[in-house]
């Protein structure tokens, strides 16, 4: 019995040892075809579809896939991977392909060649497709090779002056995309990757972002929105002539005061949210609101600063519901009285409040202070 027990325990131990399942690699790629030419686009939604034949695992469970990019067809250096999960197709962002093409030493705005294949994996076991990697001719975006993690504005014509400790941070809105609301006065400016010890410095002129070595003259006096896309070296510089709080049911726009570093304030405002429509009971509230900005160059006189969810129809659980108050800019194409809109928290209705709109925060936002 002792011998039989020892044999059984040995067998159980062997059965309990984990062993990754063997993998059958994908037999080939489907799209894009070999030698496909792709000119990359800068839009945030620009993607390229890749698809391939499925692999398999011996235990029948789904395998995981990654697209792998090389600089040569056979034995080339691996440039990067894109995880596709268990699907046999994936849309890869042009900006990711642009970064991978940069790893292949293809210059910005130039055309070069990548090769792609697919790896199937199950646990620690992974195998590259047995098919020859496919050639992809690609034209890179005309952008900067170096994309800073952060950008700062500094200079005699800025709100920071030349004080590195006061340098104005840009908000990152996407990979290689930055935005700031700020006031320029007479003087010069530079945009830098580090206000204390910059390694790259930038300016803008005629809709283009450029690398510079010395400060350049400000675009003019006033409050501006500056939007940069380093993937295509573009710069949008728009004068912001007014910002106000919009009470929807009254169509009432109340001007706000700019106080610096992207912050506007409306002080001592009586928030009259009573609804005087005949069709509703007396004393009911219409609590819809947003903000409006007059920005040069727009097709309509204003932009709506509303919730990040354009269809938002709920109310904040409290005045501390931070994400509810985050701001997104919506270029207006019509005289829409109502949306996109926020709704007031009940604690501010029929009260005198200060309203703060902070377009300089990491997440543009607003808040109320009851007086």
Does 296 or 333 have the greater pLDDT score?
296
Residue 9 CA neighbour count, 13 Å, CB half? 6
Placement of tokens 């690699």 in the chain: 25
Tell me the torsion sign for CA atoms 101, 149, 42, 327. Answer: positive
Structure tokens at 125: 């076991």
pLDDT grade for 45, boundaries at 50, 70 and 90 = confident
Among 10-19, 86-95, 258-267, 295-304, where is mean pLDDT lowest? 10-19
Q: How confident is the model at residue 17 (pLDDT cuts 50, 70, 90)?
A: low
Torsion of CA 261, 262, 266, 272, to 10 degrees: -150
**Structural domain boundaries in the chain:** 21-139, 152-232, 240-370
Q: Looking at residue 113, what is its pLDDT?
A: 96
Q: How far apart are CA 223 and CA 204, in angstroms?
A: 16
What pLDDT score was predicted for residue 12? Answer: 46
More confident residue, 46 or 7: 46
Residue 194, classed as helix, strand or coil, is coil
pLDDT confidence of 275, banded at 50, 70, 90?
A: low
Measured distance CA(308)–CA(61) in Å, rounded: 39
Residue 4: what pLDDT? 57
Residue with the two structure tokens 């697919």? 118
Q: 347, 325, 333, 342: which is closest to 247 by C-alpha?
A: 342
Average pLDDT over every residue of 146-156: 95
pLDDT at 6: 53
Chain position carrying tokens 């600063």: 305
How far apart (Å, rounded) are the C-alpha atoms in residues 224 and 84?
Answer: 41
**CA gap 252, 245 in Å, rounded:** 8
Which residue has tokens 């131990």? 13
Q: For position 25, what pLDDT does the model report?
A: 87
**Other Cβ atoms closer than 10 A to 99:** 18
Q: What are phi and psi of 204, to 5 degrees?
A: -150, 150
Confirm if 55 and 86 have CB atoms less than 8 A apart: no
Using omega within 30 degrees of 0 as the cis cutoff, is the peptide bond preceding 283 cis?
A: no
Per residue in 71-121, pLDDT (tens digit) is 998 878 999 999 999 999 999 999 899 989 999 999 988 999 999 999 999
Note the pTM of the prediction, 2 decimals. 0.74
Write the DSSP assignment of 54-72 as a string of letters: --EETTSPPPEEEEEEESS
- Structure tokens given for 291: 């903000």
Residues in the chain: 371
Lowest mean pLDDT among 19-33, 93-107, 162-176, 280-294: 280-294
pLDDT for 27 beyond 80: yes
Fold of 21-139: Immunoglobulin-like (2.60.40)
107-121, 225-239, 242-256, 269-283: least confident range: 269-283
The tokens describing 19, both together, are 């062993």
For residue 118, how many C-alpha atoms fall within 13 Å in the half-sphere facing its CB?
29
């Amino acid at each position: 019995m002792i011998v039989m027990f020892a044999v059984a325990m040995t067998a159980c131990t062997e059965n309990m040892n984990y062993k990754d399942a063997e993998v059958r690699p994908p037999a080939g790629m489907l799209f894009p075809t070999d030698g496909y030419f792709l000119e990359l686009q800068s839009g945030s939604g620009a993607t390229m579809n890749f698809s391939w034949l499925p692999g398999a695992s011996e235990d029948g469970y789904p395998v995981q896939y990654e697209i792998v990019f090389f600089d040569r067809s056979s034995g080339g250096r691996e440039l990067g991977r894109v995880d596709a999960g268990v699907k046999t197709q994936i849309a890869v962002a042009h900006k990711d392909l642009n970064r991978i093409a940069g790893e292949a030493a293809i210059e910005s705005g130039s055309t070069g060649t990548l090769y792609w294949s697919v790896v199937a994996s199950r646990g620690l076991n992974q195998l590259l497709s047995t098919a020859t990697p496919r050639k992809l001719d690609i034209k890179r975006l005309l952008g900067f090779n170096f994309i800073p993690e952060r950008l700062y504005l500094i200079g005699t014509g800025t709100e920071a002056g030349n004080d590195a400790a006061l340098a104005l941070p840009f908000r990152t809105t996407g990979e290689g995309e930055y935005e700031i609301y700020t006031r320029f006065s007479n003087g010069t400016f530079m945009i830098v990757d580090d206000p204390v010890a910059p390694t790259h410095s930038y300016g803008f002129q005629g809709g283009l972002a450029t690398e510079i070595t010395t400060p350049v003259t400000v675009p003019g006096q006033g409050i501006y929105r500056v939007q940069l896309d380093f993937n295509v070296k573009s710069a949008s510089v728009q004068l912001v002539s007014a910002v106000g709080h919009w009470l929807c049911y009254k169509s009432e726009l109340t001007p706000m005061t700019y106080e610096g570093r992207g912050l506007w304030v409306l002080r001592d405002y009586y928030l009259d949210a009573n609804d005087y429509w005949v069709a509703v009971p007396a004393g009911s509230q219409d609590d819809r609101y947003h903000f409006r900005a007059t920005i040069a160059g727009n097709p309509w006189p204003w932009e709506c600063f509303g919730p990040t969810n354009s269809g938002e129809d709920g109310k904040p659980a409290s005045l501390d519901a931070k994400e509810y108050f985050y701001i997104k800019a919506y270029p207006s194409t019509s005289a829409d009285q109502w949306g996109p809109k926020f709704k007031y928290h009940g604690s501010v209705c029929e009260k005198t409040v200060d309203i703060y709109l902070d377009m300089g925060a990491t997440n543009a936002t607003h808040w109320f202070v009851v007086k």
